[in-house]
C-alpha cells in the first residue's frame, strides 16, 4: 500500500469525529515517529489532560527508567539471512494479529475526546490488533465490527461479582480477561496534584476554557490512598477461572516469584508491567524485568510486556528478551490526541512498520527466529 492509499484508508475512519473533522493528509502524515505524535497531541490537549496521560507517579523515576532501559540493551544483528520477506504476524492465546503490538488498557481516554474508547476500538479493528479495555466495545459489537478484545478489570470484591463479570464478558465475546494487579490504591501523582486534577474529569472531560470548573468530585490531592482493590489475592484468579472459559492474563507482574505463582493459580499469560510508571515509583524498568520472568516461567505461558515502547526496535528488544508481544499505552493516546482515529491507526502502523524493518536489518524474517542472542546488555 502506498502513502496515498494508506491515507485514503485512514480517512474512511476519520469521519464522525467531532473534534478532528477531516485532518489533511499532510497533518496525519506529518509526524515521523511516535515522539512527534506526542508533541502534536501536547499542543492540542488541555494541560490537565496531557499531564494526566504523560505523567508518572511522584518523581517519575520509573517512568524515565522504562525508556532508558531500551538504550542499555544493544542489538547484535545477523547478516546474510534472506529477509526479502518479513512476517510480523503473531498469535497470542488463540488470537491472531498483524504484529505483536496490542493496545494497553488506558482509563481516561475521554479526556482526549468523547467516546474515545469506541474510536480507539475502531482503530484496533482497522489495524488488525487486540485492544484491552474495560469499556467502549459495546458500540462496536452492536455494529458487528470484528473487534478482537480482552476485557480489563482491576478486580471485584466478592466471588459472586467476579463470576458474574467473567460470564458476562464471555457472553459478549471477549477473548480474555486482563486483570490489573498493581492498582490496589490510587497512587500519588505530582502532576495531577499540582494541576488540581479531579479524577471526575475522566468521565466528564476537562472543563472547557472560560467555563467554571464543576463541583469537586474526586480531587487528585485527596485521592491518594483511595482504595481500589486492596484485598485482592490469588483467590481472585480462581474466581474468574471457575466462572468462565476465558484465559486470565495478569497485568502488573514484575517479580519471577509472582509470575510462577500466577501460573500455579492458572493464569494463561502474564504482562510484565509497572503501569507505565504510574503506580509505585522506583520499581524496576519493565524491559529489565522481562528476562527474570521469562526464565522463571520456562515457556509455560506467554509473557507479554509494556512500558516505554516508542519504536519498532524497542519492540524487537523486548521480543529478543522473551516477550511474545508488547502493549502500548500512551502511543495510541498521542495518535488520538493529535488526529483522532487516523492518528491512532498511523501510530500503530508506524510501530508495526518500524518493527518489520528492524527485524529485516537484524536478520530475523519472522518472530520465531528472534532469540536472546540478538541482544546484549550495555
Ligand atoms: C492515561 C493512562 C491510563 C491508564 N489506565 C490504566 C488502566 O485503567 N488500567 C491498567 O491496567 N493500566 C492503565 N494504564 C497503564 C497502561 O495499561 C500501560 O501499562 C502503560 O501505559 C504502558 O506504558 P506506556 O504508556 O509507556 O506504553 C494507563 C496508562 C495511561 C498512560
pLDDT tens figures, 84-102:
999 999 999 999 999 999 9
25: in domain: no
Gap from CA of 310 to ligand 1 centroid (Å): 14
Mean pLDDT, rounded, for 193-210: 90
| pLDDT surpassing 50 at residue 14 | no
Query: Which residues are CB-neighbours of 74 under 8 A, at least 6 positions away?
Result: 375, 376, 377, 378
Q: How far is CA 372 from the centre of its chain?
A: 24
Kindly state if the Cβ of 332 falls inside 6 Å of ligand 1: no
Q: Is 227 a member of any domain? A: yes
Q: What is the CATH number of the domain that holds 271?
A: 3.20.20.70
* CB-facing half-sphere around the CA of 231: CA atoms within 13 A: 4
Q: 90 forms bridges with which residues in the sheet?
A: 97
- DSSP codes of every residue in 101-119: EEEPP-TTGGGTSTTHHHH
* Residue from 125, 99, 127 nearest 355 by CA: 99
CA–CA separation, 230 and 293 (whole Å): 24
How much of the chain exceeds pLDDT 90, in percent? Answer: 88
Residue of 343, 321, 307, 355 lying closest to 74 (CA atoms): 321
56 CB within 6 A, ligand 1: no
- Is 275 a pocket residue for ligand 1 (Cβ < 6 Å)? yes
Answer yes or no: 275 catalytic: yes
| Least trusted range by pLDDT, from 201-215, 231-245, 300-314, 335-349 | 201-215
pLDDT of 13 strictly over 50: no
Q: Which residue has the cell 459472586?
A: 160
Within a domain: residue 4? no
Among protein residues, the one with the nearest Cα to ligand 1's atom 5 is: 106
Residue 150 is assigned to a structural domain of this protein: yes
Q: Which pLDDT score is estimated for 124?
A: 98
From the alpha carbon of 63, which atom of ligand 1 is closest?
Answer: 26
Verify whether ligand 1 is closer than 6 Å to residue 312 (CB atom).
no
112-130 tens-digit pLDDT: 999 999 999 999 999 999 9
At residue 7, the pLDDT reads 59
Query: What is each CA distance from 32 to 28, 117, 185, 332, in whole angstroms?
Result: 10, 25, 37, 15
Asked if the structure places residue 294 within a domain, the reply is: yes
Q: Helix 47-54 crosses helix 34-44 at what angle (to 10 degrees)?
A: 150
If you ran DSSP here, which 8-state letter would residue 45 be given?
Answer: S
- Is any atom of ligand 1 closer than 6 Å to the C-beta of 155? no
Q: How many whole angstroms separate alpha carbon 274 and alpha carbon 251?
A: 9
Cβ–Cβ < 8 Å for 268, 249: yes
Give, for ligand 1, the residue of 276, 289, 314, 327 to mutate: max count of ligand atoms closer than 8 Å to Cβ.
276
The number of folded domains in the chain is 1
- Ligand 1 atom closest to 53 (CA): 1
For the cut 90, the answer to whether the pLDDT of residue 212 exceeds it is: no
Work out whether strand 303-306 and strand 269-272 pair parallel, antiparallel, or are unpaired. Answer: parallel
Ligand 1 atom 15: the closest Cα is on which residue? 275
CA-307 nearest atom, ligand 1: 23
Sign of CA dihedral 141, 344, 248, 283: negative
Question: Could you read off the pLDDT of 16-60 as tens digits, one per residue?
Answer: 344 456 788 889 999 999 999 999 999 999 999 999 999 999 999
Dihedral of alpha carbons 349, 354, 357, 359, sign: negative
- pLDDT of 11 reads 53
Residue 282 lies in a domain: yes
C-alpha span between 198 and 192 (Å, rounded): 8
Q: How far is the CA of 102 from the centre of ligand 1 (A)?
A: 12
Grid cell at residue 236: 481472585
Query: Which carries the bigger pLDDT value, residue 211 or residue 83?
Result: 83
What does the pLDDT read at residue 136? Answer: 84
Phi first, then psi: what are they for 272, rounded to 5°? -70, 115
Ligand 1 geometric centre to CA of 101 (Å): 14
Residue 343 pLDDT > 50: yes
All residues at 6 or more sequence positions from 188 whose CB lies less than 8 Å from its CB, including other chains: 57, 58, 224
Residue 107 CB less than 6 A away from ligand 1: yes
Report the pLDDT value the prediction gives residue 159, as an integer from 0 to 100. 97
Residue 203 placed within a domain:
yes
pLDDT above 50 for 236? yes
User: Ligand 1 center to residue 331 CA distance, Å?
Assistant: 10
180 Cβ closer than 6 Å to some ligand 1 atom: yes
Q: Which three cell numbers stand for residue 237?
A: 484468579
pLDDT in tens, 281-339: 999 999 999 999 999 999 999 999 999 999 999 999 999 999 999 999 999 999 999 99
pLDDT, mean over the chain: 94
- Give the β-pairing of 101-103 and 325-328: parallel
Determine, yes or no, domain membership for 26.
no
Range of the domain at 274: 31-377
Alpha-carbon gap, residue 105 to 94, rounded angstroms: 20
Selection from 196, 142, 204, 151 nearest residue 174 by Cα: 151
Is the CB of 121 inside a 6 Å radius of any atom of ligand 1? no
How far is 14 from 339, CA to CA, in rounded Å?
Answer: 9
Amino acid at each position: 500500500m502506498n502513502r496515498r492509499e494508506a491515507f485514503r484508508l485512514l480517512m474512511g475512519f476519520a469521519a464522525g469525529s467531532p473534534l478532528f473533522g477531516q485532518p489533511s493528509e499532510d497533518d496525519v502524515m506529518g509526524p515521523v515517529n511516535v515522539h512527534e505524535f506526542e508533541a502534536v497531541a501536547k499542543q492540542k490537549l488541555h494541560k490537565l489532560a496531557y499531564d494526566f496521560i504523560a505523567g508518572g507517579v511522584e518523581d517519575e523515576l520509573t517512568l524515565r527508567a522504562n525508556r532508558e532501559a531500551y538504550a542499555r540493551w544493544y542489538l547484535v544483528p545477523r547478516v546474510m539471512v534472506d529477509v526479502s520477506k518479513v512476517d510480523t504476524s503473531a498469535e497470542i492465546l488463540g488470537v491472531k494479529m498483524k504484529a505483536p503490538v496490542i493496545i494497553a488498557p488506558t482509563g481516561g481516554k475521554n479526556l482526549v475526546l468523547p467516546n474515545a474508547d469506541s474510536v480507539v476500538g475502531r482503530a484496533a479493528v482497522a489495524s488488525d490488533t487486540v485492544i484491552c479495555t474495560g469499556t467502549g466495545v459495546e458500540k462496536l459489537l452492536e455494529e458487528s465490527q470484528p473487534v478482537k478484545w480482552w476485557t480489563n478489570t482491576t478486580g471485584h470484591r466478592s466471588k459472586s461479582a467476579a463470576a458474574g463479570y467473567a460470564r458476562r464478558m464471555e457472553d459478549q465475546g471477549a477473548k480474555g480477561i486482563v486483570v490489573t494487579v498493581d492498582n490496589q490504591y490510587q497512587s500519588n501523582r505530582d502532576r495531577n496534584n499540582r494541576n488540581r486534577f479531579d479524577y471526575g474529569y475522566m468521565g466528564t472531560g476537562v472543563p472547557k476554557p472560560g467555563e467554571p470548573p464543576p463541583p469537586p468530585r474526586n480531587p487528585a490531592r485527596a485521592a491518594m490512598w483511595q482504595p481500589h482493590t486492596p484485598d485482592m489475592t490469588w483467590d481472585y484468579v480462581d474466581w474468574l477461572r471457575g466462572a468462565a472459559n476465558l484465559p486470565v492474563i495478569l497485568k502488573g507482574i514484575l517479580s519471577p516469584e509472582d509470575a510462577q505463582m500466577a501460573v500455579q493459580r492458572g493464569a494463561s499469560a502474564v504482562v510484565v508491567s509497572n503501569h507505565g510508571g504510574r503506580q509505585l515509583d522506583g520499581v524496576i524498568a519493565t524491559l529489565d524485568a522481562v528476562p527474570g520472568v521469562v526464565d522463571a516461567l520456562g515457556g509455560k505461558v506467554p509473557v507479554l510486556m509494556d512500558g516505554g515502547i516508542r519504536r519498532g526496535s524497542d519492540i524487537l528488544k523486548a521480543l529478543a528478551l522473551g516477550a511474545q508481544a508488547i502493549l502500548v499505552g500512551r502511543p495510541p493516546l498521542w495518535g488520538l490526541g493529535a488526529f483522532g482515529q487516523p492518528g491512532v491507526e498511523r501510530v500503530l502502523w508506524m510501530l508495526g512498520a518500524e518493527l518489520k524493518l528492524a527485524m529485516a536489518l537484524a536478520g530475523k524474517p519472522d518472530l520465531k527466529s528472534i532469540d536472546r542472542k540478538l541482544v546484549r546488555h550495555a
